[in-house]
Amino acid sequence: MGILLAKFSPEYIIRIIGLDNSGKTTILYRLKGDQSSISTVSTNGFNLETIQCMNKNLVIWDIGGHRNVRNLYRHYYPQSHALIFVVDASDHQRIDEMKDEFAEVLKCSEGVPTVLILNKQDKENAMTESFIKEQLKLDDIKDRKWFVQLTSALNSESNSSLLQWLSNNI
């Protein structure tokens, strides 16, 4: 029965993007339900997983975050039903690069629902939600639904609310 349900469930494409070393791959595997200790290396291409959630198949692409790969992001947006932009909230030195990349995402993705994950909240120096919202001017975003999720990819406590938001907004 589960196989039949999955076969006829609608499929939605979600892209996980962001700067390198922000935790995109760890978040992907935590969303998938992998509770083991995840040891990842920097993603040079992409990882692809399908997650069943609320009778929907979420096909999640984790796309590498190195600058040369980020230049290709715009080619993925037209086929996306939602975006997850991951921020390393402990990386104060790259806030300007993150702001520029996020602005480019908004410019090129035309109304695609967007989740902003503020990762590495377990770090003592993590930037606050209000600081990042101000830096990215989130309250000025009117062309799409958006959601902010604070998390530490090392645990999966916030995954259910993230998956529920995605399922309800795609």
In three state form, how does the secondary structure of the chain look? CHHHHHHHCCEEEEEEEECCCCCHHHHHHHHHCCCCCCCCCCCCCEEEEEEEECCEEEEEEEECCCHHHHCCHHHCHHHCCEEEEEEECCCHHHHHHHHHHHHHHHHHHCCCCEEEEEECCCCCCCCCHHHHHHHHCHHHCCCCCEEEEECCCCCCCCHHHHHHHHHHHC
The answer to whether 23 is annotated as binding is yes
The tens digit of pLDDT for each residue in 18-66 reads 998 899 888 888 888 765 555 565 555 567 788 888 888 998 888 776 6
Of the two residues 16 and 64, the one the predictor is more confident about is 16
The answer to whether 91 is annotated as binding is no
Confidence of residue 1 (pLDDT cuts 50, 70, 90): very low
Of the two residues 32 and 69, the one the predictor is more confident about is 32
The answer to whether 5 is annotated as binding is no
| 49 phi, psi to nearest 5 deg | -140, 150
The answer to whether 121 is annotated as binding is yes
The answer to whether 120 is annotated as binding is yes
Q: Rounded to whole angstroms, how far apart are CA atoms 96 and 158?
A: 26
As for how many domains the chain has, the answer is: 1
- Model pLDDT, residue 148: 94
Mean pLDDT to the nearest integer, 148-164:
80
The answer to whether 122 is annotated as binding is yes
Q: Rounded to whole angstroms, how far apart are CA atoms 106 and 99?
A: 11
The answer to whether 65 is annotated as binding is yes
- Model pLDDT, residue 87: 95
- Model pLDDT, residue 32: 82
Of the two residues 51 and 160, the one the predictor is more confident about is 51
Whether the Cβ atoms of residue 15 and residue 117 lie closer than 8 Å to each other: no
The tens digit of pLDDT for each residue in 98-142 reads 999 999 989 988 899 999 999 999 999 999 999 999 999 999 999
The answer to whether 118 is annotated as binding is no
- Model pLDDT, residue 65: 65
The answer to whether 114 is annotated as binding is no
The answer to whether 44 is annotated as binding is no
The answer to whether 7 is annotated as binding is no
The answer to whether 137 is annotated as binding is no
**Domain span at 32:** 2-169
Q: Ranked by mean pLDDT, which of 3-12, 74-83, 113-122, 145-154 comes out on top?
A: 113-122
Residue 162 belongs to domain with CATH number: 3.40.50.300
- Model pLDDT, residue 4: 53
